[in-house]
Amino acid sequence: MKQKSDFSIVGRAIASVAGFDCVYHTLEQQVVLRGQAKSTFENYIHRIAQVSLHFNRLPEDVSSEELNEYLVSLAVSAVSPSRSAFKHSVYGLRYYYRYVGLSDRAVRLPSLKKDAKLPTIFNKSELRLLFKAPTLLKHRVLLMLIYSAGLRSSEVINLKTADIDFERRSIHIRRSKYNKDRVVPLSQYMSVGLQKYIALERPLTWLFNGKALGTPYSAKGISWVMREAVKTADIAKDVTVHTLRHSYATHLIEDGLNIVTVKDLLGHSKIETTMVYLHIAQCPMIKAHSPLDTLYPEACKAK
């Protein structure tokens, strides 16, 4: 969720950069027509506004030399290991240049190297402490559900009570990243907790209601619940809500589930994205052998 300062940057660009108001409304319409996530638009327009304010003109009126100098300054000064400001500025500009029909300029922007850093995960003892930490049942169920189904924050926010099928023990995740639906298993243990939560809280449309009537829980609210639980559980690792999803994938692989099924459960578009978890998972080493010996195991034991 964007902070108020983010929206003021966009507001300043609308007020002071000629033509930015038209860009804002047109891009907003394009996102709706294409069925893209609102968060994607908010992130891109924020970065485009920053560039426009920096040069006091729209990006198409900024020379390639000026733009590269600006991007280099972001890449060098960013304190985050992921160089978040730099990356999202590049993504936003690529999006913008395609929108205005300048795809050739989008191609000439600096290429981004993928972070080599492996994701942090919880071990199972830490997860037990984490899920025990919140005082409210709603918060315990929220965190457990994210881990139990490998959900993104945006996915758990958009879950409706009708998306939970207790009889078939499944969760229908609708219009997630890449605008795709998927169905994941509902844990039997999670099913019991969810039914208890629903009977107590009686959520209406959304599985997790927000503060205002008829609104879903916010990403900011989930992050707060996570931070408080980590603090109470006294977990020293640098973790976020997304760490639960990383842990889900890693633990499934350690439990013996094949990587292709894990890819489908996570909703990844490419197997390469899922394969990062192979570097984290601690799978038992199997001694080299012939498959014929496992075809007739009893005969081998007799020898």
Which tens digit of pLDDT belongs to each residue from 30-48? 777 777 777 778 888 888 9
Residue type at 269 in one-letter notation: S
Q: What is the pTM of this model?
A: 0.68
Q: Identify the residue whose tokens are 């639906």.
A: 181
Q: Report the percentage of the chain scoring pLDDT > 90.
A: 52
Q: What is the mean pLDDT of the chain?
A: 86
Q: In the CATH hierarchy, which top-level class contains the domain 124-279?
A: mainly alpha
Can you give the residue ranges of every domain in the chain? 4-107, 124-279
3-state secondary structure of 170: strand
- Whether 5 shows a pLDDT value over 50: the answer reads no
What integer pLDDT is reported at residue 2 of this predicted model? 43
Nearest to 89 by CA among 108, 105, 67, 107: 67
State the pLDDT confidence band at 74, using cuts at 50, 70 and 90: confident
More confident residue, 287 or 215: 215
**Quick check: 20 and 34 in contact, CB under 8 A?**
no
State the pLDDT confidence band at 295, using cuts at 50, 70 and 90: low
Give whichever of 44-53, 109-118, 223-232 has the largest mean pLDDT.
223-232
What integer pLDDT is reported at residue 1 of this predicted model? 40
More confident residue, 114 or 120: 120
What integer pLDDT is reported at residue 83 of this predicted model? 60
- Whether 189 shows a pLDDT value over 90: the answer reads yes
The beta-carbon contacts of 212-219 under 8 Å, at least 24 apart in sequence, are 216/157, 216/158, 217/142, 217/156, 217/157, 218/1, 218/157, 219/1, 219/153, 219/154, 219/157
CA dist., res. 198 & res. 135, Å (int): 17
What integer pLDDT is reported at residue 42 of this predicted model? 83
**Could you give phi then psi for residue 198, rounded to 5 degrees?**
-65, -40
CA dist., res. 234 & res. 228, Å (int): 10
What integer pLDDT is reported at residue 156 of this predicted model? 95
CA dist., res. 303 & res. 300, Å (int): 5
What integer pLDDT is reported at residue 76 of this predicted model? 66
What integer pLDDT is reported at residue 177 of this predicted model? 76
**pLDDT (mean) for 159-170:** 96
Structure tokens, 113 = 């190297």
- Whether 195 shows a pLDDT value over 70: the answer reads yes
